[in-house]
Amino acid sequence: MHSKVIIIGSGPAGHTAAIYAARANLSPVMFEGMMAGGVAPGGQLTTTTEVENFPGFPEGITGSELTDKLREQSTRFGTDIITETISRVDLAARPIKVWREDADGDNDAPDTCDALIVATGATAKRLHIAGEDEYWQRGMSACAVCDGAAPIFRNKPLVVIGGGDSACEEATFLTKYASHVYIAVRRDAFRASNIMAKRAANHPKITVLWNTHVAEAKGNGSQLTHVVLQDAKSGEKRDLEVSGLFYAIGHTPNTAFLSGQLDTDETGYLLVKPGSTITKIRGVFAAGDVHDKQYRQAITAAGSGCMAALDAEKYLEELEAEEQEKAAAGKL
Distance CA 216, CA 238 (A): 10
Structure confidence by residue, pLDDT tens digits, 209-231: 999 999 999 999 999 999 999 99
Average confidence (pLDDT) over 289-307: 95
pLDDT classification of 34: cutoffs 50, 70, 90: confident
In this structure, of 35-49, 94-108, 282-296, 318-332, the range with the lowest mean pLDDT score is: 35-49
Query: For position 105, what pLDDT does the model report?
Result: 61
Q: What is the CA radius of gyration of the chain?
A: 22
* Annotated catalytic residue 263: no
Q: Indicate if 306 belongs to the active site.
A: no
Residue 103 has pLDDT above 80, yes or no: no
pLDDT higher than threshold 60 for residue 104: no
- Exposure on the CB side of residue 64, measured as CA atoms within 13 A: 5
Cα separations in angstroms, 197 against 75, 190, 208, 210: 46, 6, 10, 13
Res 145: pLDDT:
85
pLDDT band at residue 45, thresholds of 50, 70 and 90? confident
What does the pLDDT read at residue 247? 96
Per-residue pLDDT tens for 163-203?
999 999 999 999 999 999 999 999 999 999 999 999 999 99
Catalytic residue among 114, 147, 289, 292: 147
The whole-number pLDDT of residue 112 equals 98
What mean pLDDT is reported for the chain?
93
Mean pLDDT of 98-123: 88
Active site residue 143: yes
Half-sphere exposure of 108 (CA within 13 A, CB side): 14
The percent of residues above 90 in pLDDT, for the chain, comes to: 82
Q: Give the active site residue among 143, 289, 292, 311.
A: 143
Model pLDDT for residues 252-296, shown as the tens digit of each residue? 999 999 999 999 999 999 999 999 999 999 999 999 999 999 888
For residues 215 and 230, the answer to whether their CB atoms sit within 8 Å is yes
pLDDT surpassing 70 at residue 36: no
Confidence of residue 106 (pLDDT cuts 50, 70, 90): low
Catalytic residue from among 113, 114, 146, 289: 146
The total of other beta-carbon atoms located within 10 Å of residue 266's CB is 5
Q: Does residue 332 have a pLDDT over 60?
A: no
Closest CA to 140 of 62, 130, 95, 113: 130
Count of other CB atoms within 10 angstroms of residue 233: 10
pTM of the model: 0.84
